Chains A and B, each alone.
Chain A
Amino acid sequence: MNYVLPTVEWPTVMPVLIVVVTGILAVFIEMLWPKRNNNVIVGLGLVGLGLAGSSVLKQFGAPDGVTFGDMVVRDQVGLVMQLLLVGICFVAFLFSEGYLREKQIPFAEFYPLALWATAGGMLMVTTTNTLELFLGLEVLSIALYCLAGMSRQESKSEESALKYFLLGAFASAVFLMGIAYLFGATGSLDLNAITSVWPATTPMHHTLILFGVGMTLAGLGFKAALVPFHQWTPDVYQGAPTNVTGFMAAASKVAAFGALLRVLMAAAPLQEFWFPAMFWICILTMTVGNLAAVVQKDVKRILGYSSIANAGYILVAVLSHVKSPDKVGLGSTFYYLLAYSMMTLGAFAVVSLSAKGGKEGTRLQDIHGLWSRAPFAVVCLVVFVASLIGIPPSAGFVGKLFIFNDALAAGLTPLAIVLAVNSVISVYYYLGILQAAFVSEEGAVRNQSAKPGIGLNIAVLVCAFGVFWASFNATWVQKTATGTSVSQAQTVSTTTSPDRMGPSNPE
C-alpha cells in the first residue's frame, strides 16, 4: 500500500489550535512567574480567544467540507458552535479573576483548564468521527472535573467534583459502548456510516446499530443534562465555584448539543425507533427541570434546574429539525443556544458577587441586599431573568417563539404546548431570584458581597446588551448562523456526503 498523507486545510483547524496553544502558553507563564497576579494570563487568554473567534468568523460562508482525513468537518453547525464556545470562554474569563480573588482560590490553573475545556468542546462540534467525538468529550469533561473541585478547602466543591467525575466517567463508558457497537455494525468510526449502511443491512445489524445509537444518545444525554440522566446537574452546579458553574452550564451544553445534533442527524433514517423515546425525554426534561426548580432554596441550584429545563427547550428545536429537515432549519437551535449562553452566563456572573473574603453563600437569603451594593449588576440580572422567563423584547422570548413555531411546523404540537406551559411555570422561581436580590438588608444571615470589579461589569454588560441585541436582530442572527446562501436541505445533504477539501487519498 502506498499511503499518501492527506492534505490538511489548516484554516479549518486553526481555531482549536489557537485555543490549545493559548492554554499551553498560559501554563508556561504560571510556571515561570508563579503566584503572581493572573492579569497577564487573563489578558493572554482573552487575546487568544479573540484570535480564535476571528479565525472562526473568517470561515463563515466558506463551502462545507471535510479535512484531516475526514476527521474534521467544516459546516455551519461546527462554525456557529465553535464561535459560541469561544464567546462563552471569553465572557467567563472576564468575570473570573475578581471572583477567584474574593473566594481566595486565585489559582492561575483555572485559565488553561478552561481554555482546554473549550478546545475539547470545539473538537466535539466539528467532527463526525465517533472516536474524535469521544476524545473531545473527554478533554472537555476531564478539565471540568478539575475545575469543579478547584476550591480545595470547601467540602461542597470537592463533593461536586467527585460526583461529577464518577457519573461523568460512567456516562463516558456508556457512550463508548455505544460507539463500539456502531463501529461493529457499520465497519467505520464515522457517524455518517450509519446513514449509508442502515438501508442495506440485515436485522442483526439493525439491532446492533439501534443498541449503539441508544447507548450513544444516553451518554450524550448525560452531558446535556436530559432528564433520566440529569441527577448530577444540581449538585455539581451548586458545589462548583460559581464562575466554573457558569462556564460549565453554557459551554458543556453547547458542546453536548452539537454532538447530539450530529448523532441524531446521522441516525435520521432510523428515527422511527428512537424518535418516541427522545420525544418523551424532551417532555420530561422540560417538566421535571421546571417543577424541581420551584422548591429550591439555593440560587445556583435553581439555575441548575433551569438549565435542565432549557436543555429541554433546545431539544424541541433539535427534534423539530431532525423530524422535518426541509421545513425546519437549525436557525432556532443556534439562536436559543446563543440566548441561553448569554443569559445563563450573565446570571451566574451576578450570583458570583455573593463571594467575599473566602466565603460564599448562594442561598436565596444570601443575595439579599444585592441591589444596594451592586445596582448595575442587579439591573443586568433583571434583564437575564426577564430573558429566561421569556418576556419580550428579550432573546429568551424570541428564541422560545422560534422554537414554538418550529415545533408546530414539524407537526410536534404536543412539544410546543408543553414548552408554553413550562415557560409559565418557570416564572415563579425566576421571580424568586429577583425578589431575593431586591430585598433590602433586613438582618439577613450573612450580608456580605463583593464590590463588582470592572471585569464583571463588562461581562454582565456584554451579556445584557447581547440579550437585547439578539432579540432586535433575530432574523439576521438566524440567517447568518444558518448560512444565507445555503438552504436547509443542502446543509443536511452535505453533512451526509461531504465534499473533500483537499485531495485526501483513501488508497
Chain B
Amino acid sequence: MVNDVPLSWFLGLGMIMFCIGTIGVVVRRNPVVVFMCIELMLNAVNLTFLVFARYGIAPGQTLEQATNTAMGGQMAVIFVMAVAAAEVAVGLGIIMAIFRLKNEADVDDMSVLRG
C-alpha cells in the first residue's frame, strides 16, 4: 500500500526538489539550464499536488468532498503541465532569438540593461 509511506516523506521529497531547483536558478548561468531548474520546481509542485490529493488531510471532509478534493488536485497537475509546456515554447523562442543576435546565451552577459 502506498499509504505505508508517510505523507511527510513525499512532502519532504517535493521540498528537496523545489530547493534544488531554486538553488539551480540562482547559481547556474546558462538560460536553458536555469529553465530546466524551473521545470524541476514545477515537478516538485506536481508531486505535492498529487500527494495531497492522495492523502487528503484536509479536516472535516465527507467522503464525497474528499473525492472531489482528490480530483481537484489531479486536475491541477494537468494544468500545471500544460502551462509548463506553453512556457517552454515561449522561453526557448526567446533564447533562440537571443542566440541569433549574439551567438551566445549566458545570463552573465545580459548586461545591456543596468543602472
A187-B18 in contact given A166-B107, A173-B42, A205-B59 (Cβ < 8 Å): no
Contact between chains at B75 and A131 (CB < 8 Å): yes
Residues of A266-308 at the interface with B, using a CB-CB cut-off of 8 Å, are 295-298, 301
Complex CA distance for A201 and B44, rounded to whole angstroms:
26
Residues of B27-57 at the interface with A, using a CB-CB cut-off of 8 Å, are 31, 34-35, 38, 41-42, 44-45, 48-49, 51-52, 56-57
Complex CA distance for A163 and B58, rounded to whole angstroms:
38
Contact between chains at A200 and B90 (CB < 8 Å): no
A161 in contact (CB, < 8 A) = yes
Which chain A positions have C-beta within 8 A of B48?
177, 180-181, 184
**CB contact between B59 and one of A149, A197, A239 (< 8 Å): that residue:** A197
1/0 per residue, CB under 8 A from B, across A367-410: the answer is 00000000000000000000000000000000000000000000
Contact between chains at B94 and A149 (CB < 8 Å): yes
A486 in contact (CB, < 8 A) = no
Complex CA distance for A146 and B91, rounded to whole angstroms:
9
**CB contact between B41 and one of A131, A173, A189, A234 (< 8 Å): that residue:** A173
Contact between chains at B52 and A183 (CB < 8 Å): yes
Residue of B nearest to A178 (CB): B45
Complex CA distance for A159 and B97, rounded to whole angstroms:
10
Complex CA distance for A447 and B34, rounded to whole angstroms:
40
Contact between chains at A162 and B38 (CB < 8 Å): no
A185 in contact (CB, < 8 A) = yes
Complex CA distance for A173 and B87, rounded to whole angstroms:
12
Residues of B70-101 at the interface with A, using a CB-CB cut-off of 8 Å, are 72-73, 75-76, 79-80, 83, 86-87, 90-91, 93-95, 97-98, 101
How many of A's residues come within 8 Å of B, CB to CB?
52
A155 in contact (CB, < 8 A) = yes
Which chain A positions have C-beta within 8 A of B93?
146
Which chain B positions have C-beta within 8 A of A176?
42, 45, 80
Which chain A positions have C-beta within 8 A of B42?
173, 176
A180-B45 in contact given A156-B112, A159-B110, A235-B113 (Cβ < 8 Å): yes
Contact between chains at B79 and A135 (CB < 8 Å): yes
Complex CA distance for A1 and B64, rounded to whole angstroms:
10
**Interface of chain B, main secondary structure:** helix
Contact between chains at A188 and B69 (CB < 8 Å): yes
Contact between chains at A169 and B45 (CB < 8 Å): no
Which chain A positions have C-beta within 8 A of B94?
145, 149, 158, 161-162, 165
Which chain B positions have C-beta within 8 A of A28?
none
Complex CA distance for A149 and B95, rounded to whole angstroms:
10
Contact between chains at A188 and B58 (CB < 8 Å): yes
**CB contact between A201 and one of B59, B73, B86, B101 (< 8 Å): that residue:** B59
B6 in contact (CB, < 8 A) = no
Contact between chains at B58 and A169 (CB < 8 Å): no
Contact between chains at B58 and A187 (CB < 8 Å): yes
Contact between chains at B56 and A152 (CB < 8 Å): no
The smallest beta-carbon distance between A214 and chain B, in angstroms, is: 14
Contact between chains at B91 and A165 (CB < 8 Å): yes
The smallest beta-carbon distance between B53 and chain A, in angstroms, is: 8
Give 16 pairs: A residue, B residue, CB < 8 Å, sorted on A: A1-B64, A131-B76, A146-B90, A155-B102, A166-B25, A166-B107, A169-B91, A176-B45, A177-B44, A183-B76, A185-B58, A200-B60, A234-B113, A235-B113, A235-B114, A239-B112
Sort A-B residue pairs by CB-CB distance and give the 7 closest, nearest first: A187-B58, A184-B52, A173-B41, A235-B113, A180-B48, A176-B45, A187-B69
